[in-house]
Amino acid sequence: MGEVPPEVVEEMQELATAVPGLKTRYKLLDKIGEGTFSSVYKAEDLTGSVIKSFSRHFWDSGNRQERRYVALKRIYVTSSPNRIYNELNLLYMLCGSTRVAPLCDALRHHDQVIAVLPWYRHEEFRNFYRDLPIKGIKKYLSELLQALSFVHSKGIIHRDIKPTNFLYNPQFGRGVLVDFGLAEMESDSKSETRHGKEMRTSENYCPCKGEQSSQGQTQVYPGNHPHHKGKQTSAMPSAAHSIVDLTKGYPKHETRRNKRANRAGTRGFRAPEVLMKCSNQSTKIDIWSVGVILLSFLARRFPMFQSLDDTDSLLELCCVFGTKKMRKCASLHGLGFDVSGLEGISEDGYKGGLAEFIQQLLHGEVEAGTFPSYSIAFETYEFLVNRSTGESIAPSVEFQVAYNYSQHDLKKYHDEVWSDHYWCLEVLDQCLTLDPHKRSTADELLSSTFFNELVDSDCTEENDDEDDVLIIEN
């Protein structure tokens, strides 16, 4: 651990003094995170009570000292009481899975609220997403989907699935879902168990459509709105860079009542139904976010989408899926959708689908020489080239030399990798389905052929929480 900055030391001392009993139970060590509504500190459990009660949630790294560390989440007083209660209550409900960070302890003094969770040694997503091989991606997704399977089984929508909220250790092959600050219970009307899977066959079904029979047309035209000048979308090819000057998609004198819906989430990871203000959002919005993470892995690009508002976010999706599919998606939610005069946006998007989109992004990096010759990204690129041309591509000699494979072993490895890519793209398509009613659930994705080799080893979720004991002190 490096030297802690003086301002952080002062901040931790202030916190320890502000909450009676805190410094007798926890020793603050460092500040490890900060968000809009909270700060997170690494601390030592001085009494060992948290470790004892929640031992199965702490990863065994072989370092006994690390098992004494916890994370203290200081929730800012600017958070509403309902928001604080909601997060703590949901964390308490979710203590039965080792892939979800449990609420181990909680302290409150006046307006100071602190949640105590396990500390996990993990790697920053930016440090490994460009180098993780396909089997590593498979393990990452398996861990994330198992966490979501458990969360969704409790009727909870996380709403903020993104790499920083899924702490993953590539060395251990373990991950844990954190930060339920935006999470909410899924209402009965949203639950697929109530509507049944037959709703997936309905071309124009969404309960939000019946709430307002006429929402009018959302129109997007080229303009000179100052907010959009000079901005480029990170994942869009150069042909789409003309999409920078846009007016907001609302008539100047609108008299109809605006659509209201929960739009909470992180830009770039929000599902189409969130962007279109669907009031019937479900756990499927989390699955879309999983798809965006997978897209970043395969294209070796992060962030994938980063527009600043809903209009631009919809345009980014138009670049990939085309206006025809986006109009159909809008119609599902009782909306019109019209995009006019924007270069780089076509009716059909990428005709080869997401696979062609990824191939074009990788091709740009290959041409620019940004990947080293031994980069694992070439496996994905060669598979996609072969997929689009139908030609057979032999394993690269450079890869054989770099990893000391025999010709037989290399051929076997090559076949496995290409098979994994085939099924991985199927999972990607199932995640990034515009219609939420046809989008797969976490359980359905885990039953995909892509995860078959992991089923016997680790796809069984634990639900034994008999020895998880929570003590909340006031």
In this structure, the answer to whether residues 128 and 194 fall within a common structural domain is yes
Question: Per this entry, what is the length of the chain?
Answer: 474
According to the model, what pLDDT value does residue 204 have? 59
Residues 75 and 171 in one domain: no
User: For 32-66, b where at least 16 C-beta lie within 10 A, e where not — what string?
Assistant: eeeeebbbbbbbebeeeebbebbeebbbeeeeeee
For tokens 């992004």, the residue is: 361
Instruction: Find the CATH number of the domain harbouring 430.
Output: 1.10.510.10
Q: Judging by beta carbons within 10 Å of its beta carbon (0-12, 13-18, 19+), is residue 8 exposed, middle or buried?
A: middle
Judge whether 388 and 102 are in contact, CB under 8 Å.
Answer: no
- Does residue 463 lie in a domain region? no
The answer to whether the CB of 176 falls within 8 A of the CB of 147 is yes
pLDDT at 61: 72
Domain shared by 110 and 192, yes or no: no
Tens of pLDDT, residue by residue, the chain (474 residues) = 578 999 999 999 999 999 999 999 999 999 999 988 899 999 999 999 998 899 999 887 766 666 789 999 999 877 788 889 999 999 999 999 999 999 999 999 988 899 999 999 999 999 999 999 999 999 999 999 999 999 999 999 999 999 999 999 999 999 999 999 999 999 765 555 445 455 555 555 676 765 544 444 555 554 433 334 444 445 554 433 333 333 344 455 555 555 566 667 899 999 999 999 888 899 999 999 999 999 999 999 999 998 888 889 999 999 999 999 999 999 988 888 888 777 778 999 999 999 999 999 999 999 999 999 999 999 999 999 998 887 654 445 455 555 555 666 777 888 899 999 999 999 999 999 999 999 999 999 999 999 999 976 655 555 544 455 554 555
One domain for residues 149 and 102: no
In this structure, is residue 472 part of a structural domain? Answer: no
Tally of domains within the chain: 2
- Kindly tell me the burial class for residue 96, based on how many C-beta atoms sit within 10 Å of its own C-beta (0-12, 13-18, 19 or more): middle
* Among the listed residues 232, 234, 259, the one whose alpha carbon sits nearest the alpha carbon of residue 245: 232
| Sign of the C-alpha dihedral computed for residues 383, 444, 157 and 122 taken in this order | negative
Positive or negative, the CA dihedral 141, 147, 152, 156 is negative
Which DSSP symbol is given to 315? Answer: H
Instruction: Provide the terminal-to-terminal Cα distance of the chain, rounded to the nearest Å.
Output: 32
Q: What angle is formed at CA 251 by the lines to CA 248 and CA 254, rounded to 5 degrees?
A: 125
Give the C-alpha separation, 92 to 71, whole Å. 16
Domain assignment present for residue 407? The answer is yes
Token pair 């394993």 in the structure block, residue: 395
**214: its two tokens:** 């006429």
Q: Is residue 468 part of a domain?
A: no
User: Do both 41 and 156 map to the same domain?
Assistant: no
Identify whether 30 is part of a domain.
Answer: yes
Task: Tell me, yes or no, whether 149 and 280 share the same domain.
Answer: yes
The CATH number of whichever domain residue 96 belongs to comes to 3.30.200.20
User: Which tokens go with 253?
Assistant: 């004198």
Residues 193 and 113 in one domain: no
According to the model, what pLDDT value does residue 202 have? Answer: 53
Using alpha carbons only, give the angle 261, 245, 344 rounded to the nearest 5 degrees.
Answer: 90
| Residue 81 CB-density burial (10 A; 0-12 exposed, 13-18 middle, 19+ buried) | exposed
In a domain? residue 410 = yes
Consult the annotation and say whether 325 binds a ligand: no
Per-residue confidence (pLDDT) for residue 407, from 0 to 100: 63
Distances (CA, A) of 232 to 239, 240, 335, 344: 11, 9, 27, 13
Do residues 96 and 462 lie in contact, with contact meaning Cβ atoms separated by under 8 Å? yes
Domain that holds residue 107: 6-60+67-119
Give a yes or no: residue 81 inside a domain.
yes
Based on the fold, state whether residues 96 and 132 are members of the same structural domain.
Answer: no
SS3 338: strand
Q: Cα–Cα distance between 292 and 63 in angstroms, integer?
A: 34
What's the pLDDT at 114?
Answer: 95
Same domain, 174 and 98: no
Tokens of 421: 């890519």
Q: What are phi and psi of 296, to 5 degrees?
A: -65, -40
Q: Which residues participate in catalysis according to the annotation?
A: 160
- Torsional class of 21: left (φ above 0), alpha (ψ -120 to 50), beta (otherwise): left
Query: What is the predicted pLDDT for the residue at 224?
Result: 39
Q: Are residues 108 and 128 in the same domain?
A: no
The answer to whether residue 469 sits within a structural domain is no
Cα of 140 vs its chain's centroid, Å: 12
Pairing of strands 156-157, 184-185: antiparallel
Please report the pLDDT score of residue 183 as a whole number: 94
Let me know whether 72 and 151 are in one domain: no
Q: Residues 71, 130: one domain?
A: no
